Amino acid sequence: MKRQAVLLTLGATVAHQVAHQVARRSVLNARAESVSGLGGTWPGRPTREFFVRASDGARVAVIEWGDPDAPVSVVLSHGWTLSSRLWSRQIAELSQHARVIAYDHRGHGRSDRSIPESCTLEQLGQDLAAVIEAAIPEGRIVIAGHSMGGMTLMHLAEQRPDLVADRVDGVVIVSSSAGDLASSDFGFPGLAGTLVRVLGPHAMGGLARLESWAERRDALAPEMWLATRALTFGPGVPGHLVDEMLAVVNEVPLGVVSAFYAGLALHDGHRGLQALANTPTTILVGTEDRLTPLPHSQRMAEAVPHAEMVTLPGAGHMLMLERPTEVTDAIARYLGSGVLATRGGDLLGAR
């Protein structure tokens, strides 16, 4: 028995090393692949960088680009475990035609980390209101939110329907959801999907306890890289986009990831969608989105009957990186017809 146990242990170790090397080669090959049309331009120096105090005193980091006297300001709200850096392609284009405000959610990017009890979508809605009131006290606004940023937008609309009705010319919701996230299986079939639903909350809840240990580990292990690509991108994306995303994700403390996972599970954006009844709204979703799949966007479109839903075939969850032109065009439409014509965009071709 002892000899069998040694052989089994040796076999498992060898299998793990082989699998690790296969994963490593897969990552290297993916990084070497060249996929046309997925590059991006980058914004120049920001006009200013500053902090806004949230209702509980936490500092929210804000960066501004473009003409501070522009008649329309664009506000960009990023997703869970990400930061405003991943809006860079949109900022580069939109800041030529409007003032662009991008900010980091609490616990993300350069913003202050807060207690877990403040990591809620309701608080993020208040934070977004504070950013708008401090950075854009007057003038017209267009708001775009990706994933958790789109959910934040819904909570802002619920909390401040007057602000949305009086000042917002357009809303763009990218790869997001109005709720039911606790039952998500991330697209895994059968038993795997059941395990994700049952064990996911417990695993995420344990991240905070593992934070100091895990952050000393190699977060860019090839297995992690491949899992990230499969979960958050559509097939065929170049490796540099996965690297770009992971570089941002790795800066978010695991305790923050865990706390906001619990907040996402409680998210209900339906009242916020109702508050958008008279606000021009565009909903974007990729057909290969595992985190907020197509039915989530379809249900949002049903809740906002006038909304235009744009489905992007073959794209995953990270549309700002995978389909930057389509995301930029969706926002640019609300800046005036002349802007989209100048850019030469063709959003209608994606419908």
Grade residue 180 by pLDDT with cuts at 50, 70 and 90.
confident
Number of structural domains found in the chain: 1
The pair of three-digit structure tokens given for residue 255, joined into one six-digit string: 């305790």
Asked if 284 and 315 count as a contact pair (C-beta separation under 8 A), the reply is no
Angle, vertex CA 195, rays to CA 193 and CA 196, nearest 5 = 65
Task: Indicate whether 325 belongs to any domain.
Answer: yes
Answer with the residue of higher pLDDT: 237 or 15: 237
Q: Which stretch, 35-39, 195-199, 296-300, has highest mean pLDDT? A: 296-300
3-state SS of the chain is CHHHHHHHHHHHHHHHHHHHHHHHHHHHHHHHCCCCCCCCCCCCCCCEEEEEECCCCCEEEEEEECCCCCCEEEEEECCCCCCHHHHHHHHHHHCCCCEEEEECCCCCCCCCCCCHHHCCHHHHHHHHHHHHHHHCCCCEEEEEEECHHHHHHHHHHHHCHHHHHHHEEEEEEECCCCCCHHHCCCCCCHHHHHHHHHHHHHHHHCHHHHHHHHCCCCCCCHHHHHHHHHHHCCCCCCHHHHHHHHHHHCCCCHHHHHHHHHHHHCCCCHHHHHHCCCCCEEEEEECCCCCCCHHHHHHHHHHCCCCEEEEECCCCCCHHHHCHHHHHHHHHHHHCHHHHHHHCCCHHHHC
The pLDDT assigned to 5 comes to 47
Q: Report the C-alpha gap between 252 and 114 in whole angstroms.
A: 13
Task: Indicate whether 25 belongs to any domain.
Answer: no
Grade residue 336 by pLDDT with cuts at 50, 70 and 90.
confident
Grade residue 14 by pLDDT with cuts at 50, 70 and 90.
very low
Task: Indicate whether 297 belongs to any domain.
Answer: yes
Grade residue 21 by pLDDT with cuts at 50, 70 and 90.
very low
Q: What's the rounded mean pLDDT across residues 135-140? A: 96
Task: Indicate whether 72 belongs to any domain.
Answer: yes
How do beta strands 59-65 and 48-53 pair? antiparallel
Q: What's the rounded mean pLDDT across residues 85-90? A: 97
Q: Report the C-alpha gap between 174 and 331 in whole angstroms.
A: 10
Task: Indicate whether 3 belongs to any domain.
Answer: no
The pLDDT assigned to 337 comes to 56
Q: What's the rounded mean pLDDT across residues 198-204? A: 53
| Range scoring the smallest mean pLDDT among 7-21, 112-126, 161-175, 248-262 | 7-21
| Range scoring the smallest mean pLDDT among 31-40, 167-176, 208-217 | 31-40
Grade residue 249 by pLDDT with cuts at 50, 70 and 90.
very high
Task: Indicate whether 283 belongs to any domain.
Answer: yes
CATH code at position 295: 3.40.50.1820
Does the structure show a pLDDT above 70 at 68? Answer: yes
The pLDDT assigned to 35 comes to 43
The pLDDT assigned to 292 comes to 95
Grade residue 214 by pLDDT with cuts at 50, 70 and 90.
low
Query: Which pLDDT tens digit goes with each residue over 43-54?
Result: 888 999 999 999
Does the structure show a pLDDT above 60 at 130? Answer: yes
Grade residue 330 by pLDDT with cuts at 50, 70 and 90.
very high
Query: Which pLDDT tens digit goes with each residue over 259-296?
Result: 998 889 899 999 999 999 999 999 999 999 999 999 99
Task: Indicate whether 313 belongs to any domain.
Answer: yes
Determine how many CB atoms are found less than 10 A away from the CB of residue 203.
13
The pLDDT assigned to 224 comes to 82
Q: What's the rounded mean pLDDT across residues 171-200? A: 70
Q: What is the mean pLDDT of the chain?
A: 83
Task: Indicate whether 36 belongs to any domain.
Answer: no
* pTM confidence score: 0.84
Determine how many CB atoms are found less than 10 A away from the CB of residue 228.
17
Provide the domain limits for residue 326. 48-181+258-350
Does the structure show a pLDDT above 90 at 176? Answer: yes
